[in-house]
Amino acid sequence: MEQRFADVAAEGRPVLVTYFMGGDPDFETSLAIMQALPKAGADVIELGVPFSDPMADGPAIQLAGQRALKAGQTLAKTLDLARRFRAEDQRTPIVLMGYYNPIYIYGVERFLDDAVEAGVDGLIVVDLPPEMDDELCIPALKKGISFVRLATPTTDDRRLPKVLENTSGFVYYVSMTGITGSSLPDPSLIAGAVARIKSHTQLPVCVGFGVKTAEHARVIGASADGVVVGTAIVNQIASSLTESGKATDATVPGVEALVRGLSAGVRAARLAAAE
Amino acid sequence: MNQPLKPNSFRAGPDEDGRFGIFGGRFVAETLMPLILDLQDEWNKAKDDPAFKAELEQLGAHYIGRPSPLYFAERLTAELGGAKIYFKREELNHTGSHKINNCIGQILLAKRMGKTRIIAETGAGQHGVASATVAARFGLPCVVYMGATDVERQAPNVFRMKLLGAEVKPVTAGHGTLKDAMNEALRDWVTNVDSTYYLIGTAAGPHPYPEMVRDFQAVIGQEAKEQILAAEGRLPDLVIAAVGGGSNAIGIFHPFLDDEGVRIVGVEAGGKGLDGDEHCASITAGSPGVLHGNRTYLLQDGDGQIKEGHSISAGLDYPGIGPEHAWLNDIGRVEYVPIMDHEALEAFQTLTRLEGIIPALEPSHALAEVIKRAPTMGKDEIILMNLSGRGDKDIFTVGKILGMGQ
């Protein structure tokens, strides 16, 4: 993951991090989506692990999780998705994103071993704050898996050092308080927040929550090391499905087209920043 | 022999990280952490502040109507022919249940923290009504999240909340019950963290909620202890309460935990039976997991997905349980047993006819266990049960099942 961030930084542009829900709308289609992402310009993949009670997610990602669970997706199958992807792409970093309970039930040690074997590079676990680092963060770091932490507007200077202490890979700055899929706040506020976090850490800072268009990606990418796009991709997938939630011929190409546009956005960010 | 060591006291938890053994903790999104730490500071300060205690007691006496009576159920005792049965009459509190004890305490904290908006989740609507009530009393706007199924089956409470000026938001996700309402309340909280105080109604959620809610509810057990000593000159042999999340139960249990001679039983919702998924017996039929900010017993599948559960009682219709109960179970201090829908329904009718008290369906579960145990006990033995809520809200549900439609 460090290599990928360094390579992209050398190109003088921000990293494009793309999120989608593993198993949405079904295993094979989501594998095809995952394989299409790097080809369309994604630099890092966040692979969503569905959970029945996603407390920090908005309606779009909740529904994606429900579609995936209905299609039989599990944590084991999500690891399998990573493994199948990794067989063909050894370079694009994979970060699993989800909630703790499925991992806890799978068994932390067994999960970490299987995740390493599947080619997973990092984890984002929404309901494990630094106070809970003994649960998964420390064991993951020992196995060489990054633990990416979320920082939010409520994470003040007093708290930032604690949040950053065991963070690795990158810092995911959630650009507003709220659930995923909310609207985008003022870009100048984001630039200030990114600068504040960077004064505390050498790690790259990626910004997410609310990034929907190439223009958003360009504006945010002007100040951040990376841009995370999630809900927009999930919505794109949802809009392509049949009424009963099945994939269509438009599902994978729709995601490709969206990500290509976003990729153009982050590439334009370099020009915008240079102006 | 791999039994955990018996602690010196069963009342010392949680530790500073909010743990009761392996249970409890603070499993929340980073957005909420600063607020939860602030709440903990404020709660620690308030606990030791005589002014806070005085205000709580004053409101308890004059607004809630404390102490609630301890009532000897003479006819029920005679009918069952065994142990003497006493009820702690929490259903006589203002708003009709024990929920108000906690709401008064937490809204005082919310005021101290300068919060300007209250949100709450509710199942049976008792906590929603109590939240709406204290919000009206202290002049704060209040939003109550309630599962769509519960909005329908607890209609009288929905009407009460609206009259009290609260906004009731039905939640259609999942089965439309308490779990879904809690998810939605957490989403609201994450979004409006600066202005909003989340008034959790049960002894669950991230630390410090389980401890705080317990301490506000422990007044039940403290009073009951004094009252039973005054009435009988000794402690009860058995204390029984219904457990959903477990706030009324921990409230009456906690002051008795270190009294060795007192057996304690928590009653879970057995729904339609423990064989399938149509129950909410998290301890009896669940396993440890992490949900809604704490580690506790949950109903879940092999992939860690949370099941929906079922209970005739909206207040017990939750696939988890407070972390302190999970610990008390594992350490062997409290016994947890299931009661089926039909047993609770029968107990509901028994009490109504024998004592002229219409209980809520939640304590009707505890009552069904009392009805099972009392005849097996001696006439010189004493059972104390928490009659945690009144049943006015349930009369339409029960009437429908019994074919007594309007």
Please tell me whether residue A239 adopts helix, strand or coil conformation: helix
Crossing angle of the two packed helices B323-330 and B209-217, in degrees rounded to 10: 80
- Which residues of chain A are within 8 Å of residue B187 when distances are taken between CB atoms? 55-56, 58, 179
Interface contact B186-A174, CB threshold 8 A? no
- Cβ neighbours, 10 Å, residue A254: 17
A132-155: pLDDT as tens digits: 999 999 999 999 999 999 998 888
Q: Known catalytic residues of B?
A: 99, 121, 388
What does the domain layout of chain B look like in residue ranges? 19-60+99-213, 67-97+218-401
Nearest CA in chain A to B288: A105
**What integer is the mean pLDDT of B234-246?**
97
- From chain B, the residues in CB contact with A152 under 8 A are 29-31
pLDDT at B13 over 60: yes
| Chain A residues close to B28, C-beta within 8 Å | 127, 129
A231 Cα to chain B: minimum distance (Å):
16
What number of C-beta contacts closer than 8 Å exist between A and B? 114
Average pLDDT, chain B: 95
State mean pLDDT over A186-198.
86
Residues of chain A with Cβ-Cβ distance to B30 below 8 Å are: 129, 149-152, 154-155, 163, 174
Tell me the average pLDDT across A145-167. Answer: 92
Q: With 0-12 CB in 10 A as exposed, 13-18 as middle and 19+ as buried, what is A261?
A: middle
pLDDT tens digits, A203-233: 999 998 778 888 888 888 888 999 999 999 9
Q: Searching chain B, which residue's CA lies closest to the CA of residue A102?
A: B304
Yes or no, beta carbons of A53 and B17 under 8 Å apart:
no
DSSP for B69-81, please give it: PEEE-HHHHHHHT
Q: Give the SS3 label for residue B393.
A: helix
Cα nearest neighbour of A151 on chain B: B30
Lowest mean pLDDT among A188-197, B64-73, B128-137, B349-358: A188-197
Question: Per-residue pLDDT for A185 more than 70?
Answer: no
Average pLDDT over residues A1-6: 93
CB of A261 less than 8 A from some CB of B: no
Any chain B CB within 8 A of the CB of A127? yes
How does pLDDT run across A103-133, given as a tens digit for each residue? 999 999 999 999 999 999 999 999 999 999 9
pLDDT digits (tens, 9 = 90+) for B91-106: 999 999 999 999 999 9
Average pLDDT over residues A64-80: 97
Rounded Cα distance between B20 and B9, Å, is 12
> Per-residue pLDDT for B406 more than 70?
no
Give tens-digit pLDDT for B102-143: 999 999 999 999 999 999 999 889 999 999 999 999 999 999
**Cis bond leading into B156, ω under 30°?**
no
Residues of A in contact with B34 (CB under 8 A): 154-156, 159
Q: Where are the domains of chain A?
A: 2-274
Chain A: give the shortest CA distance to residue B219, in Å.
Answer: 31
Is residue A182 less than 8 Å (CB to CB) from chain B? yes
- Does the beta-carbon distance from B191 to A101 stay under 8 Å? no
**Predicted pLDDT of residue A190:** 85
At B276 the pLDDT is: 87
Let me know the angle formed at the C-alpha of A50 by A46 and A53, rounded to the nearest 5 degrees. Answer: 125
Residue A36: band (very low, low, confident or very high) from pLDDT cuts 50, 70, 90:
very high
Whose CA is closest to A62, among A231, A203, A224, A215?
A231
Task: Reply yes or no on whether the pLDDT at B405 is more than 60.
Answer: no
Chain A contacts of B117, Cβ < 8 Å?
none
Closest to B117 (Cα-Cα) out of B136, B140, B146, B144: B140
Angle at B238 between CA B237 and CA B239, to 5 degrees: 135
Q: Please give the span between the terminal C-alpha atoms of chain A, in angstroms, as a whole number.
A: 29
Pairing of strands A15-21, A226-229: parallel
Q: How much is the average pLDDT of A228-249? A: 96
CA distance B343 to B322: 24
**In B272-381, beta strands by DSSP E:** 287-291, 293-298, 335-340
- What pLDDT score was predicted for residue B1? 46
**Any B CB within 8 A of A124 CB:** no
| Cross-chain residue pair A56–B187, CB shorter than 8 Å | yes
CA distances for B82 relative to B276, B339, B349, B354, angstroms:
34, 20, 20, 16
Q: Who among B28, B183, B291 is closest to A101 (CB)?
A: B291
Q: Does A191 touch chain B (CB under 8 A)?
A: no
Tokens 């989740």 belong to residue: B121
User: For chain B, how far is it from start to end, CA to CA, in angstroms?
Assistant: 58
Kindly state whether A55 is in contact with chain B, defined as any CB-CB distance less than 8 angstroms: yes
Return the CATH fold of B19-60+99-213.
Rossmann fold (3.40.50)
Q: Which fold has domain B67-97+218-401?
A: Rossmann fold (3.40.50)
Percent of chain A with pLDDT over 90: 79
**Domain covering A2-274 in this structure, CATH number:** 3.20.20.70
Q: Does the predicted interface ipTM exceed a cut of 0.90?
A: yes
Q: For residue range B250-297, what is the model confidence (pLDDT) as tens digits? A: 999 999 999 999 999 999 999 999 988 899 999 999 999 999 999 999
Q: Is A28 marked active-site?
A: no
Q: Which of A54, A105, A156 sits opposite B304 (nearest CB)?
A: A105
Cis peptide before A102 (omega within 30 of 0): no
Separation CA B235–CA B239 (nearest Å):
10
Contacts of B186 in chain A (CB under 8 A): 55-56
CB atoms within 10 A of CB A198: 17
Which of A57, A114, A121, A225 is the catalytic position? A57
Q: Is the pLDDT of residue B216 over 50?
A: yes
Could you tell me if A103 lies within 8 Å of chain B, comparing CB atoms? Answer: yes
Distance from CA of A47 to the nearest CA of B (A): 17
Tokens representing residue B362 in the block: 């939640």
Residue A178 has pLDDT above 80, yes or no: no
Distance from CA of B299 to the nearest CA of A (A): 12
CB A168 within 8 A of CB A146: yes
Percentage of chain B lying above the pLDDT 90 cut: 87
